[in-house]
Amino acid sequence: MKRLTATTWISNYAVRPSKLFVGVDMNLTIVVSQVTKKVTQRIEYTTTYQRWNPEYREFLFQNISYIQVSDFQRLFKFAVPKLRSDIERQIMTKIYGQKRTLELVSPGKRVTKQQLCYRTAGGRYYKIFVDKPFDSESKSNKATSLLEEIDVRVVLAVLSSNLWWWYYTLHFDMYNCKDYMIFGFPFSYPSEKPILGQLSDLGEILVADLFNNAHRKAQDYATTGNREQIIFEPSRSKPIIDKVDRILAEHYGFTEEELDFIINYDIKYRMGKDSVEDE
């Protein structure tokens, strides 16, 4: 007898600061489905990306809250966004309304001066984007050339924003940082010179601040031996990042309430003691 899924509940759990199962060091999703012989309408419910401290564990499941997701809120067919509130629906509507994405990569992998540097994996509460090499050893270090006419500092400012972190958290696995996750972000490169100038200036300031606050550390790895890593502390650059979001709020037409939500998204953990990024 063929059975079909009618209603699905999807709950999402982080691995830090506390994990769902001892010994399982990965982010997890639990999917519960109602099956039936006949389906007139498929309905999906989802939760936010839940983080919790160890002392909160006994209250975790009883405080789970689901929100319904419609097809309109699916930017990717393979990803059910990790929503928590109606205000996120409003923000999603505004960013999905952009006519373009950050697909500003130089065609044919042609090398240009507009170099965006980042890592394809790792990072706990931030992803680091800069316009120069990290000058440290890592197999996941990557540099992508953007179109010559694009200001890379504008792009790295956007990717460093709280808004992009929110978008990334909603749609992806929180570990990998692949090109489709980066350059698929809805952003119509603005023609307004004041906005471009402000984003460019903040991008330059942010990169300098990230490197000024970073330090180096020698680490021993089983597969690659002793390597020197650069350790960023992006939480110290949060005031600069917040300024980027205020400019993006103008670009996307966010309300004050929506901007406040984005700036404070995941802030408890992003500003915590373990918010350093091993890059």
pLDDT at 192 over 80: no
Q: Give the pLDDT score at 228.
A: 77
Alpha carbon distance 66, 72 (integer Å): 17
Q: Say if residue 66's pLDDT is above 90.
A: yes
Domain map (residue ranges) of the chain: 4-84, 107-278
pTM for this structure?
0.91
- In DSSP notation, 47-62 reads EEEE---GGGGGGTGG
Q: Summarize the confidence of residues 45-69 as an average pLDDT.
A: 93
DSSP 165-177: HHHHHHHS-SS--
Report the alpha-carbon distance of residue 163 to residue 171 in Å, rounded. Answer: 13
Q: Which two tokens stand for residue 124?
A: 């706990």
Average pLDDT over residues 158-162: 98
Tell the residue number behind the tokens 């975790």, with chain if given: 60
Nearest CA to 227 out of 238, 237, 217, 242 is that of: 217
Burial 153-188 (b: 16+ CB within 10 A, else e): bbbbbbbbbbbbbbbbbbbbebeebeeebbbbbbbe
The band of 119, judged by pLDDT with boundaries at 50, 70 and 90, is very high
Rounded mean pLDDT of 213-218?
88
Reply yes or no on whether the pLDDT at 115 is more than 80: yes
Average pLDDT over residues 214-242: 84
| Dihedral angle sign, alpha carbons of residues 273, 128, 195, 265 | negative
Amino acid at 226: N
- Determine the pLDDT at residue 136: 79
| Structure token digits, residue 6 | 């009618």
| Residue of higher predicted confidence among 136 and 199 | 199
Say if residue 91's pLDDT is above 70.
yes
